Amino acid sequence: MSPAMRPTTTPALSRINSIECLRGISALLVVCYHYREFLNDITPKLGHMLFENGRIGVDIFFVLSGFAIYLSTQAPSEHGVLRFLLRRFFRIVPLAWLLMAVVWLITPGLSATATLKSVFFIPLSPASAPFFGYNILPVAWTLTYELCFYGIFALALWVAPRQRGLVVVALVLSMVGLLQWHSGQGMTIDPYREGIFETLHLGPIWVGIFANPLFFEFLCGVLLAWIYIRHAPTLTKIPVPVRTAVYLFLLAFFVSHFFSGHATGHGLGRKGLAAIALFALYLAMHIDPLLAWFNQRFAPGPGGIFEFFGKISFSLYLVHGVLPLNIGQIPVLNHLYEQSGGWGKFILLLSFSVWAAYVLHVLVEQPCQKMGKYLTRNRPPIPKADTQSVDLAYASGTGTPRQTMAR
């Protein structure tokens, strides 16, 4: 193998730029999916034709979450359960709570029960899987799955930190499989399957969401992270024609599914496999020098716009769903909105969503993440020699521990 064709990177625990760009693309796809109706004003069904499957961004997020969680806990210093949970809490919850508060303030008639359930990310209804009644902040239905997975992963960290991947796979497969078996309605990988989740209780507690196979997408991310850490260099040893054929297949598989009206929706039996295909392709951009040009030029987008969207992706995902429902209460935007046609509404909402997401990212999201890191920072231990000198001085009666340390 010539030097030019050798891998330029090794599996790293730092940020993977191509995956961060994919995070931005995923958020943008979800935004366009929710705003697609406005494009139908221009040409009938244009919005549906372009972005009906933009919801695939959610599936990519679930895969990405499993990947990132496994990768970020690779170092032994990251195996602390409390450390893990606190960082995840400050990464997700404060911003979601802030936007729930906004929705509560500007939406009259919200019931106390719905509000309280939403604050604790409890599904509002046992029906209509996999959304289960959504949340007063509609897009936050996905955060319920995220937080449940974090809890399961924390348990895996506590049980066996070095084998956390194997343990979390076993826990999720057992949880979903046993609960579906307990339902008596058969087994499925379809998150929308009726009859299994609605009536699934353990005693008085409804547990239908824990039987939903959407959790399998997180496991796919964990598996990809395990492969990346242990076998990434092996990829570049595969003959170039074979690798090229695989990459073209992954791209074609995603594109054909994205523009297909067949089996729309979330989950491995619908668009989940296409999400995994695109994720694998973007991961390969980071690993394989054969895709170096795409990684450097294509993945970041024009002017690095996808990289920018990646940084604000969580804020963009949460805030974009609030605007269409409440734009009438924003005076200037309301006037512009009412005077605009389909393209105008689409561009206005998209632009303001990006602006609002950037503000939230800077003023809320980043400070909360820093707070989580501050609270879980590793404090250097007292050097062993100093500890011994303290103990000896105290034992010999030459001073108190405090006096000895002061000296």
Residues contacting 80, CB < 8 A, separation 6+: 157, 376
- The reported pTM is 0.87
> Partners of 205 in the beta sheet?
202
- Helices 141-159, 164-183: axis angle to 10 degrees equals 120
Whether the link from the prior residue into 130 is cis, omega within 30° of 0, is: yes
State the pLDDT at residue 317.
96
State the pLDDT at residue 398.
45
- Cα 373 from Cα 88, distance rounded (Å): 10
Q: Write the CA distances from 217 to 67, 267, 270, integer angstroms.
A: 10, 7, 12
Q: What is the pLDDT of residues 247-279, one digit of tens each?
A: 999 999 999 999 887 778 899 999 999 999 999
* Distance in Å from the first CA to the final CA of the chain: 61
Residue pair 360/319 in contact (Cβ under 8 Å)? The answer is yes
How many other CB atoms sit within 10 Å of the CB of residue 406? 8
- Cα 383 from Cα 395, distance rounded (Å): 19
Q: Write the CA distances from 207 to 29, 175, 200, integer angstroms.
A: 30, 10, 6
In the block, residue with structure tokens 């993977």: 16
Residues contacting 146, CB < 8 A, separation 6+: 62, 65, 92
- Strand (E) or helix (H) holding 104: helix 81-106
Phi, psi angle pair for 306, to nearest 5° = -70, -35
Q: Write the CA distances from 370 to 23, 105, 164, 354, 375, integer angstroms.
A: 20, 28, 26, 22, 9
Q: Where are the alpha helices (DSSP H) in 160-260?
A: 164-183, 215-235, 240-258
Residues contacting 121, CB < 8 A, separation 6+: 96, 135, 140, 143, 144, 147
Does residue 200 come out as left (phi exceeding 0), alpha (psi in the -120 to 50 range) or beta? beta
- Cα 346 from Cα 328, distance rounded (Å): 15
- Tokens for 368, please give them: 């909360």
Separation of CA 71 from chain center: 13
State the pLDDT at residue 340.
63
* Identity at 57, one-letter amino acid code: G
Task: Output DSSP code: residue 2.
Answer: -
State the pLDDT at residue 14.
57
- Cα 185 from Cα 202, distance rounded (Å): 15
- Cα 67 from Cα 16, distance rounded (Å): 11
pLDDT per 10-residue tile (average), the chain, 407 residues: 41 74 95 88 80 93 96 90 94 96 88 95 92 94 97 95 95 95 88 88 88 96 95 90 95 92 86 95 94 89 92 95 69 61 80 93 96 80 43 42 38
Classify burial at 382, counting beta carbons within 10 Å of its beta carbon; exposed 0-12, middle 13-18, buried 19 or more.
Answer: exposed
> Partners of 202 in the beta sheet?
205
DSSP 359-397: HHIIIIIHHHHHHHHHHTPPPPPPPHHHHHHHHHHHHHT
Nearest to 78 by CA among 137, 154, 139, 192: 154
Q: What is the pLDDT of residues 336-352, one digit of tens each?
A: 666 566 787 788 889 88
